[in-house]
Structure 1
Amino acid sequence: MDILMNGVGLVLNFETLLVILLASLFGIFVGAVPGLTATMAVALLVPLTFYMDTIPAIAAIVTTSAMAIFAGDIPGTYLNIPGTPASAAYVGESYALAKKGRAREALGINLACSVFGGIFGTLVLIVVAQSLAEVALKFSAFEYFWLAILGLSCSIFISVGSRIKAFLSLLFGILLSTVGLDMMSGAPRFTFGVPDLMAGINFIPVMIGMFALNELMSYYGSKSEKKTISVVDQDSVFHNVPGHMKRYWRNMVRGSSIGTLIGALPGAGADIAAWISYGVGKGRSKDKEKYGTGNIEGIVDASSANNSGISGAWVPALVFGIPGDSITAIVIGVLYMKGMNPGPTIFMDGSGLIYALFIVFILANLMMLPIGYIAIRLSKLFILTPSRILMPVILCFCIVGAFAINNSIVDVWLMLIVGLIAYILAVNDFPMAPAILGLVLGSVVENNFMSAMLRTGGRPDELLCTSDQCRPGYRRDTSVVFTASDQSVSLPAD
């Protein structure tokens, strides 16, 4: 009890609460700007954390990431441009609702599910952190391979329209994922002599090109005065939220559970969690034909998953010092810098730091309600601003966002080229979602397949085995390597 009270004292002070408030505003701004991501927001905060105590520094990162993930829904709803990659899974549903005059309703349920998912993931983190991390660490190349295959198959089933076009779009994304150095030979593939492509194609410039630049080209390519979102003045943010939560509470729990479990897998993160939750939700829905036309059910599934995935990603980060996603990869460095070494001993520290961290998670998600409500009320600026002013501003942010990832002009050219290809595909009714998922999961499938083949002596049939005993060629001394969300993680075979 004394340790818990120490943790409460570390959080409930003026400095920490002020940091949480300011980080909330910063996260909302960054997430709402197309082209800027939660990872970028956290990276920008790192220099400031040098001058903070441990708990305010972690509070700033936790709050910023949670707010930015939610705020990515705002441009997705009004402009069909996801502010963050985690919002891309259900941007079509939100935008379709906005065109029906239900923008605030869509954002209201997004906000409620984000808060629910974040708190759900935090409670799981508190109760079963060590057990969940142990399960995640038992995943080998075989399990990660099939998890990635599940994600790729979801991209076909969540798409609206022709399944063949969805499959071809998926292949385009997988093709992009093969750019870079070959895992086995180290030989460059499809780099065309450009050194910046040796490390592969970055996910963020491609996402900006496929969604933001594609939308800009569609706007300027249209002959009609375009895309005014109808807004009902009486449209309330939370008026219909209780009814939706009552009707889809099972979806909220399922999405939050999937998000937490996927987030706890090192390297997966909120982006993959949102896609898989959306695909699972559609597969189990009784109204599959409504998906893609503005279905609240799809929003509930995915938005619950992406925020719970943030909390879940802290499980391997805290217990074993292995990043669950790109954000916790940054956080681990900050924890070491502050003398809070991730690992099993972090729970034995008598200073109350771990309890303070849990309280920060809960406060950050609760703070999302009032700050998110204000952001939704102000988000009408997206449609009140004349398009001839808004579109060039968005283009500037897209260029800045693409360049700032690696400070490379190659990423800007990549965004422009992918945006042009995406526009041509969109004009011909090819869905963009499978291409994005193919890029994210393509390297996961390839790397884990090759790792599995090394461990089994090149026997693909052993991928179907359910235990190590049925794999005669299994080599337990080989490491598991997988890549996702622009990071690589090496795990022991056991």
Structure 2
Amino acid sequence: MTDILLQALMLVAEPRVLITALLAGAFGMFVGAMPGLTATMATALLVPMTFFMEPIPALAAIVSASGMAIFAGDIPGALLRIPGTPASAAYVEDSHRLAMKGKLNLALGTNLLVSCIGGLFGVAVLIAAAPMLAEFALRFTSYEYFWLAALGLSCAIFIASADPLKAGVALLIGLAMATVGLDPTTGVPRFTMGQVDLMAGVEFIPAMIGLFALAEVMRGVIRLNHGSPPPAMPRGDGALFKGVGGVIRRHPGNIARGSLLGALIGALPGAGADIAAWMSYAVSKRFSKTPEAYGTGHVEGLVDASAANNSAVGGAWIPALVFGIPGDSVTAIVIGVLYMKGMNPGPTVFIQNPQLIYAVFMIFILTTLMMVPLGWVAVKAARQVLRVPPRVLLPVVLSFCIVGAFAMTNSVFGIVVMLALGVLGWLLEENGFPVAPIILGLVLGGMFERMFMTSMIKSGGDLGAFFDRPIAATLGVAVLLIWGLAILGAVRRMLAPAGCPLQKAGHSKN
């Protein structure tokens, strides 16, 4: 084992590997900070360059770029209320409101350090428990994935800070949009209105850009045209990490919980950092002593979700390396690169090329630690955005929105989707409806439907089959309890105002 570790260390310590990781990390930071340009896109753009690299530099580039892009999505979220990546959308409201309170450094400093801690935890899980967790992930069938998707959709109620009913309506809008396209069971087009472009469904990234970024641009334009200047954000000068140590000391349990949840969800094929962030934020709010503060600029939700989405990056590599099954879209690209370099993923790679696997583990640790200095530079550079006048900034943001929407579909239709949902997002938020549940419905709606139909076909329509397997039964009971408690709480709130006067009258009679 010592010889294998030394060989792996020599492979990683080569100057070209370190330089490649540094340059790819800077590229990932840039891509992640641009609204609509995701970690998957950063990874995909690097694939042509990996054709000319040896295996270790190629993997270093992909690991570094994808990890940095996940964090970098937090930067425009705090500055502009525009999530740079889908993983940042869950807590963008808290991040931006903290910045508006003059706590920009606290928000981004917390994001950065907790992301690093969560990333290291994910790597530790990847190193120590890869075979065990991969075997656990392979036990998931359509029944377990159905309940997992249902559990994720339940997060819409918990992330709603003010009105669960409006959050439920927004979730239904997202689920309705997720039904557009080809039926997953029969392959029949539905709700496409004769448009060929809609046969692939409503693309998630253009929708996210429209609902968050374009809606924010529209609000900025309206403020300018009505002569009311947008609220000025305090610059938050000073040390980036000031006060972050206190946040970490106050919430060690949140970091541990978010990191563990992220690693577990990341290990599930098809889940990834996006779902990990949403579920961790919802769990954090559910068990918080101050749930009413979430969505108003509360740092506790940032701690959980930042730890989860970066821990999920390492967790997603578990099924990819051990069984060749992608944990998310990034590792799907990674598997292709591994095959291209002759490193066929699977159990045999741990026997035939163990030094390469341990070199990947070391690259993970190196790039996760590299996140702190690179993130510090990125935040310092991004803070200059606050000096740009809105009349200049808004067209620049709009241009990035158009580029991001077009890049995901390679057609003008992506821009049309972005524009339509931008108007919808603006109208909804003007009337008090949150847009985050719409994104959640789009993310999980397709998986929810596919797994339900697959399970029903397998069971011959027997609903009891959803509780036959131990893991499925556990998840199913958890989902039913969550919904039961939510309904019970809603009923109590409805009855409380009517009961109070009667109680008061009864007391006054006595």
What TM-score results when the alignment is normalised by the length of structure 2? 0.90
Letter in 2 for 1:424: L
Indicate how the Cα distance of structure 1 residues 469 and 299 shifts in structure 2: closer, same or farther if over 3 A, else same: closer
Deviation at 1:351, TM superposition (A): 5.7
Quick check: 1:160 aligned with 2:151?
Answer: no
Alignment of 1:84-95 (within 5 A): 84-95=85-96
Residue by residue, what CA displacement relative to the aligned partner does 1:298-352 show, whole Å, maximum 9, x if unpaired? 0000000000011100011111111111111111101100011100011112461
Three-state SS of the structure 2 residue aligned to 1:230 is: coil
Question: What amino acid is aligned across from residue 58 of structure 2 in structure 1?
Answer: A
1:71 shift after superposition: 0.6
Offset of residue 406 of structure 1: 2.4
1:240 counterpart letter in structure 2? G
Retained in 2: the 8 A contact 1:144–1:448?
A: yes
Q: Does 1:319 align with 2:322?
A: yes
One-letter amino acid of the structure 2 residue matched with residue 195 of structure 1: V
Alignment partner of 1:449 out of 449, 452, 459:
452
Given residue 435 of structure 1, which amino acid in structure 2 is its aligned partner?
I
Contact 2:11 2:359 in 1 (8 A): yes
- Partner in structure 1 of residue 262 of structure 2: 259
- 1:351-396 Cα deviation digits (max 9, x unpaired): 6100100000000000001111111122211211111111111111
Partner AA of 1:249 in structure 2: P
Q: How does 1:231-250 map to 2 (within 5 A)?
A: 231-234=235-238, 236-250=239-253
Return the alpha-carbon distance in structure 2 between the equivalents of residues 326 and 106 of structure 1: 28
User: In the alignment, is the contact (CA less than 8 A) between 2:144 and 2:471 conserved in 1?
Assistant: no
- Aligned residue for 1:52? 53
Aligned partner of 1:487 in structure 2 is none
Q: Which has the higher helix share?
A: 2
The 8 Å contact of residues 91 and 301 in structure 2, kept in 1 or not, is answered as yes
**Which whole-Å CA distance do the structure 2 matches of 1:469 and 1:82 have between them?**
33
- Ranges in structure 1 where 5+ consecutive residues have no aligned partner: 471-494
Q: Distance in 2 between matches of 1:7 and 1:267?
A: 29
Asked if 1:82 is matched to 2:83, the reply is yes
Amino acid in the other structure paired with 2:161: V
Counterpart amino acid of 2:316? Answer: A
Q: Which residue number in structure 2 is paired with residue 293 of structure 1?
A: 296
Aligned to 2:411: 408
Alignment correspondent of 2:101: 100
* Contact 2:173-2:438 within 8 A present in 1 as well: yes
Number of the residue aligned with 2:502: none
Does residue 225 of the first structure (1) align with residue 229 of the second (2)? Answer: yes
Matched residues in 2 for 1:264 and 1:351: separation? 21
Task: State the match for 2:313 in structure 1.
Answer: 310
The equivalent of 1:16 in structure 2 is 17
Distance in 1 separating the partners of 2:186 and 2:274 = 29
Distance 2:201 2:314 in 1: 28
| C-alpha distance in 2 between matches for 1:314 and 1:277 | 19
Whether the aligned pair in 2 keeps the contact of 1:169 and 1:434 (CA below 8 Å) is yes
Where in structure 2 are the equivalents of 1:76-225 lying within 5 Å?
76-222=77-223, 223=226, 224-225=228-229
> Of 317, 332, 345, which aligns to 1:342?
345
* Counterpart mapping for 1:417-456 below 5 A: 417-456=420-459
Q: 1:57 to 1:469 in 2, by over 3 A?
A: closer
CA contact (8 A) 1:82 1:91 kept: yes
C-alpha root-mean-square deviation of aligned residues, in Å?
1.3
Q: Which moves more between the two structures, 324-333 or 155-164?
A: 155-164
Where structure 2 has 5 or more consecutive residues not aligned to the other structure, the ranges are 474-510
Cα separation, partners in 2 of 1:352 and 1:423, compared to 1, 3 Å? same
Match of 1:384 in 2: 387
Counterpart residue type for residue 232 of structure 1: G
Residue 335 (structure 2) pairs with residue 332 (structure 1): yes
Quote the Cα distance in structure 2 between the aligned partners of 1:205 and 1:460.
36
Distance 1:219 1:13, change over 3 A: same
Pairwise CA distance, 1:197? 1.7
Query: What SS class does the counterpart of residue 198 from structure 1 fall into?
Result: helix
SS in 2 for 1:228: coil
Cα distance, 1:309–1:351 mapped onto 2, change above 3 Å: closer
Counterpart of 2:319 in 1: which secondary structure?
A: helix
1:464 is displaced (CA, Å) by 3.1
Q: Cα gap change, 1:187/1:115 in structure 2, threshold over 3 Å: closer, same or farther?
A: same
Q: Determine the C-alpha separation between the residues in 1 that align with 2:378 and 2:159.
A: 29
* In structure 1, distance between residues paired with 2:31 and 2:232: 24
Q: CA contact under 8 A between 2:143 and 2:472: conserved in structure 1?
A: no
Q: Which residue identity lines up with residue 24 of structure 2 in the other structure?
A: A
Distance in 2 (alpha carbons) for counterparts of 1:338 and 1:228: 51
1:352 partner SS? helix
Which amino acid in structure 1 is aligned with residue 52 of structure 2? Y
C-alpha contact (below 8 Å) 2:105/2:242 kept by paired residues: no
2:36 counterpart SS class: coil
SS in 1 for 2:200: coil
**Structure 1 residue 227: deviation in Å?**
3.4
Partners of 1:118 and 1:293 in 2: CA distance: 26
| Number of residues of Structure 1 aligned to a counterpart in Structure 2 | 469
Match of 2:360 in 1: 357
Q: CA deviation at 1:467?
A: 4.3
TM-score by length of 1: 0.93
**Alpha-carbon shift at residue 211 of structure 1 (Å):** 0.4
- 1:62-119 per-residue CA deviation (whole Å, 9 max, x = no partner) reads 0001111101101000100000000001000100100000001100000011000111
CA contact (8 A) 2:73 2:84 kept: yes
8 Å Cα contact 1:160/1:431 also seen in 2:
no
